[in-house]
Structure 1
Amino acid sequence: MMSFSRADTSTLGRWWWTIDRWTLAALLALVGFGYVMMLAASPAVAERIGASSRNMFFIRQIVYLAGATAAMLAVSMLSIRQVRLLGWLGLGVSLAMVAATLVMGVEIKGARRWLSVPGLGSIQPSEFLKPCFAVVAAWLIAEGKANRRHGATLLAILLFLGIAALLKGQPDIGMLLVVTAVFFAQFFVAGLNLFVVGFVGALGVAAAAFAYTLFPHVQSRVERFLDPSAGDNYQVTVALEAFGHGGLLGRGPGEGRVKNVLPDAHADFVFAVAGEEFGLVICLVILALFAFVVVRGLVRLLGETDLFVVLASAGLLTQFGLQAFVNMASSLHLIPTKGMTLPFVSYGGSSVLAIALGMGMLLALTRRRLSRLEEER
C-alpha cells in the first residue's frame, strides 16, 4: 500500500494526501470488476464470432484498462487550471474528430460514429467529447455568472447546439441525451430560474417526441419496450432470464450460458453476465460502487466555493452516474434498450479511456487545496 509522510512536499506526496482516496478506491474496484467480467464473458463471444484468438477481447481489454488507469491517475495530479486547459484542448480535438465521422466515418448499423485508426482499430470520438464539454461548459457558465459576461454563457449554449447538430448527424441520440442531461444539470446547479427549468423540461419532452417520430430505430426501441410483442426483444429477454438463473449467489464463474448466445454479452449486456454467474449480491456491490462514487462526489462539493469546480464536478458525476444507470436499467428492461457501456466494466477502448479521463478530472478537481496559490499549481 502506498504510504507517504504528511511532511512530504513532493508532487506524489501532495497528491496522495489531497486526493479523495475513497473515491479512487471505488473506481479501482470497478476496474477490477472490468477485468473479472472480461475474463468471464469475452472468450465465449470471441469464439462465437470466429476470432483468431479466444482471448482476443480479454487481452485488448487488459491493455485498455491498464492505459485507462494510468491516464486517470496522471490526470488526477493536474491543477484546476490544467484541467481547464485539458478540457479546451480535448474539446477542440474531439469536435474535429466527431465532424470527421460524418465524412469518413465507419458506418455500423446505419450510424457513422467511429473513425478507423491504423493500428488501433476504430475509436468513437464522441466518447471523449462528453467529459471535455462538461469541463468547458462549466467554465463558461461560471464566467458568465461571476463576471456577468453574458457572452460566455451564450458561447456555452452555441457550443452545445453545435455538438447536438453533429450528434444528430451521426446519428447518436443516446449520446445526445447524455450530453443534454449533463448540460442542463450544470445550468440547474448554477441557479437556473425555476420557470426556465419548466420551459427547458417542456422542450425536452418535445425533443423526445421529435426523435420518436424522426428516427425509426428510436421508435422501434420505444415500441418494443412498451409492447414486447411489437418486435424482436431477444437480447432483453435472454438477459432477464440470465438474472433469474443467477439468483442470489449466481451459478458460479464460467458457468453462465447467456454469454454464449448474446452478441453483446461482453459490452452492453455485461451486467446480465454478472447477474447469471455471480448473482444478485455482486450486482448490488457493483451498483453500490457507482452510487458511492456519485454520492461521495456530490457530498464533497457541499463545502466548495469555486463555482467552476462545482459545475464541472457535477457534470462529470451526472455523466458517470447516468451512463451506469442507462446500461443497468436497459439490461433489466426498466427503460428502452440503448447501446451504452457500463463504465470500466464493459468492453470498449474509447469508452474506458474517455471515462478514465472524466474521472481523472473529477479526482483532480475535488482534491483538497489549502490556498488559491495551490489551486493554480
Structure 2
Amino acid sequence: MSIMARTDRSIIGRWWWTVDRWLLASLAVITAVGAVLTLAASPAVAVRIGYDPFYFAHRQFVFLPVAMLLMLAVSMLSLQGIRRLAVVCLAVSIMVMVATIFVGEEIKGATRWIRLGGFSLQPSEFVKPGLVVVAAWMFAERRLDERFPGYALSGGLFALVAGLLIMQPDVGMTIIVSAVWGMQFFLAGLPLILVMAIAMLFIGGGVGAYFTFSHVRDRIDRFLDPSGEDGYQVARSLEAFRNGGLFGRGPGEGQVKSVLPDAHADFILAVAG
C-alpha cells in the first residue's frame, strides 16, 4: 500500500508520483556505501598527513546533508523550473571556469580549482549537470521543430565547455563530458556519418592528449604497466583486490588503506576490495 494517494495534489504528493523512485533509492544506496567507505579509508590517510583521524569523514558528512536536501529540492521543480535552473547553472559555471584559468589554484600541473568564500570549488563539476539538461532541451526542441538550431546550439555549448576543460587542462573530465554529450546526440537521432566522424574525433583527441600532456601519458602508461616504479598505487590496489577475494576481508580488516596515499579518493574502491 502506497504512503501517498494518487489524488493527493500537494507538492509532496505530486513529487512522490512523478519522481523516479528506483533512481532515488539507487542514489541513497550509493551515498550510504560511499559514507561507509569514507569512514573506513579516511583515518589512516588523515593521520599520515597530520590531520585529525576523521578530518575527511567530517568534511563528507558536513556537505552530505546539504547535497541531499538540494537534490530533493531540485527533484520537486517543474520541467520549466529545471530548465531555467540548468541554464543558470551552466552560465555561472562557465564564467567561473573562465575565471579559474586565470586565478585558480594549480594542483599537480592543472588549474581546476578556485577558492571562493573560504571553499575550494571545481566548477567543472557544476557544468556537467547544466550541460546535460540544456543539451537534452536543445535536442528535444530540434525534434519538435526541425527549423530550430538545436544541434548547432548544443554543439556550440559542448565545444565551449570542452575547450575550457582542455585549457585547464582536465582531460579526464573532457572525456566524461564528451562521452555523455555524444551519447545524447546519438539518442537524439545523430546521422551515422556524424557518429563515425565524432568517434574518429574522440580517438584522435585521445591520441593527441597522450602525446601532448605528460600527466595523461603517465597515467595511461601506469594503467598499462602498473608494475613500474610510478605505478605503486595501482599495483597495491590490484594486490588488495586479489587478497580480498570476492567479498573482501571484512569491515575494518583491510590493510591497503594504510599504505595508499589516495586511499580516500581515487583508490577508495581498493579499500572496499
- TM-score, normalisation: structure 2: 0.94
Q: CA contact under 8 A between 1:39 and 1:58: conserved in structure 2?
A: yes
* Aligned match of 1:6: 6
Structure 1 portions without partners, runs of 5+: 276-377
* Aligned match of 2:253: 255
Greater RCO, CA 8 A, separation 6+: 1
Give runs of ≥4 in structure 1 deviating > 4 Å.
none
Distance 1:247 1:229, change over 3 A: closer
CA distance in 2, matches of 1:189, 1:154: 16
CA distance in 2, matches of 1:134, 1:189: 13
Q: CA contact under 8 A between 2:226 and 2:234: conserved in structure 1?
A: no
CA distance in 1, matches of 2:26, 2:242: 27
Q: CA contact under 8 A between 2:223 and 2:234: conserved in structure 1?
A: no
CA distance in 2, matches of 1:134, 1:22: 20
Deviates more, 1:245-254 or 1:36-45: 245-254
Q: Does 1:86 align with 2:85?
A: yes
CA distances 1:64-111 after superposition (whole Å, capped 9, x unpaired): 221111111111111111111111000011001111110110110011
CA distance in 1, matches of 2:168, 2:231: 25
- TM-score, normalisation: structure 1: 0.69
Q: CA contact under 8 A between 2:113 and 2:121: conserved in structure 1?
A: yes
Alignment of 1:21-100 (within 5 A): 21-51=21-51, 53-100=52-99
Q: Does 1:115 align with 2:114?
A: yes
* Aligned match of 1:214: 212
CA distance in 2, matches of 1:163, 1:116: 20
Q: CA contact under 8 A between 1:143 and 1:149: conserved in structure 2?
A: no
CA distance in 1, matches of 2:125, 2:223: 26
How far the C-alpha of 1:230 sits from its partner, in A, is: 5.2
How far the C-alpha of 1:229 sits from its partner, in A, is: 5.1
Q: CA contact under 8 A between 2:165 and 2:173: conserved in structure 1?
A: yes
Q: Which amino acid aligns with 1:33?
A: V
CA distances 1:104-149 after superposition (whole Å, capped 9, x unpaired): 1011001100011233x31100011111101111112222232123
Distance 1:148 1:239, change over 3 A: same
* Aligned match of 1:149: 147
CA distances 1:309-341 after superposition (whole Å, capped 9, x unpaired): xxxxxxxxxxxxxxxxxxxxxxxxxxxxxxxxx
Distance 1:55 1:193, change over 3 A: same
CA distance in 2, matches of 1:34, 1:224: 26
How far the C-alpha of 1:231 sits from its partner, in A, is: 4.8
Q: Which amino acid aligns with 1:130?
A: K
Q: Which amino acid aligns with 1:64?
A: F
Q: CA contact under 8 A between 2:225 and 2:231: conserved in structure 1?
A: no
* Aligned match of 1:128: 126
CA distance in 1, matches of 2:26, 2:150: 35
CA distance in 1, matches of 2:133, 2:4: 31
CA distance in 2, matches of 1:223, 1:269: 17
How far the C-alpha of 1:150 sits from its partner, in A, is: 4.8
CA distance in 2, matches of 1:98, 1:155: 19
* Aligned match of 1:179: 177
CA distance in 2, matches of 1:250, 1:198: 42
3-state DSSP class of the match of 1:200?
helix
3-state DSSP class of the match of 2:189?
coil
* Aligned match of 2:198: 200
Structure 2 portions without partners, runs of 5+: none
CA distances 1:188-237 after superposition (whole Å, capped 9, x unpaired): 00111112211211121111111111111112222233334555110001
Distance 1:231 1:54, change over 3 A: closer
Distance 1:4 1:228, change over 3 A: closer
CA distance in 2, matches of 1:178, 1:7: 41
Q: CA contact under 8 A between 2:222 and 2:234: conserved in structure 1?
A: no
Distance 1:258 1:230, change over 3 A: closer
How far the C-alpha of 1:241 sits from its partner, in A, is: 1.1
Distance 1:228 1:45, change over 3 A: closer
3-state DSSP class of the match of 1:219?
helix
Alignment of 1:208-357 (within 5 A): 208-228=206-226, 231-275=229-273
Q: Does 1:18 align with 2:18?
A: yes
CA distance in 2, matches of 1:40, 1:110: 29
Number of residue-to-residue matches in the alignment? 273
How far the C-alpha of 1:38 sits from its partner, in A, is: 1.2
Q: Which amino acid aligns with 1:17?
A: W
